Amino acid sequence: MRPKILITDRIHEVAIEEARGFADVDLNFGLSHEELIEKIGKYDALIVRSGTKVTKEVIEKSNLKIIGRAGVGLDNIDMEAARKRGIMVVNSPEASTISVAELVIGSLIALMRNIIQAHTSMKEGKWERSKFMGNELFGKTMGIIGFGRIGREVALRAIAFGMDVLVYDPGITGEDAREYNCRLLDLDELLKNSDIVTLHVPLTDATRGMIDERRLNMMKNSAILVNIARGGLVDEEALYRVLKENKIKGAVLDVFEEEPPRGSKLLGLDNVVLTPHLGASTDEAQINAGTVVVEKIKNFFRE
């Protein structure tokens, strides 16, 4: 028997085609809550992104065996109601790992080689060769805070560039770090010894504001801070001050306490590279978000 899957938020066409390979698939975008409750009874699986609210009512009216969230956050799914009904919930946090790791390296080189300023200067008709002296990544020390999926991919790329890599993550052992040719240190030692500090931790009560004024002041004057993880990990007011006073050299920011960061003083600085939460904005990450979930659902029905 082919399972019946309802997809209520737009996922990539490639993923829909994969689902059609093993299941009967209905696409129904923009359903109201009432319409979803009315239809859900005849499906074995539901695939959503963040748009569809999978409430207790939806779950209780359903005969679902599995719910797939293409992407990361599960805030739109009543997990407790799903657990009580024995419905499995799967998501695809791994989908954007490579995209984020590549943005770290790309933005860092853009900052260190003044690529954005040089490009803007040329567009203004100038040819300012001596103004844009940069630095190499080679031989520098990268400190990675959070050595999970993304942190590890960043480490592999940093090592390929000839960097030394220090890591801080209470969830891993020194042996885990050594497997990646990295060295595990405590947070303060990592901050003092790194030329580049990059954050790859989730935003939790324990990590909110972890990079505060005291910790920013531990960093080298020549150091660069990279936050492509979550706004809220870094105290932005304090970051502005240390950047303005050249207590650190620069910052790469893809995420902000408030998005968009309207009126933020960080927007007025020269020693930053800013992007509007583009970490997962690649064709590949978007395809993966859907295909990873479809693959998990396929395996579930196979077992």
Give the catalytic positions in this structure.
230, 259, 277
Name the one residue in this structure whose structure tokens are 């690649």. 282
Give the nearer residue to ligand NAD in terms of CB position, either 39 or 200. Answer: 200
* Binding flags for ligand NAD, 132-171, as an x/- string (CB under 6 A): -------------xxxxxxx----------------xxxx
| 229-288 residues near ligand NAD, rule: CB under 6 A | 229-230, 254-255, 277, 279-280
Of the candidates 100, 172, 106, 110, the residue with the CA atom closest to the CA atom of residue 135: 110
Alpha helices, DSSP H only, in the chain?
Answer: 13-20, 33-39, 56-61, 79-84, 97-112, 115-123, 149-160, 174-179, 187-193, 213-218, 236-244, 283-302
- For ligand NAD (CB under 6 A), the number of binding residues is 29
Distances 160 to 90, 142, 157, 174 between C-alpha atoms, Å: 33, 12, 5, 21
In the complex, the smallest distance separating the C-beta of residue 33 from ligand NAD, rounded to whole angstroms, is 28
- Longest CA–CA span in the chain (Å) reads 69
In the complex, the smallest distance separating the C-beta of residue 173 from ligand NAD, rounded to whole angstroms, is 11
Residue 92 binds ligand NAD, judged by CB under 6 A: no
In the complex, the smallest distance separating the C-beta of residue 268 from ligand NAD, rounded to whole angstroms, is 22
CB 51 within 8 A of CB 7: no
In the complex, the smallest distance separating the C-beta of residue 167 from ligand NAD, rounded to whole angstroms, is 9
**Which residues form the interface with ligand NAD (CB under 6 A)?**
93, 96-97, 100, 145-151, 168-171, 200-203, 206-207, 228-230, 254-255, 277, 279-280
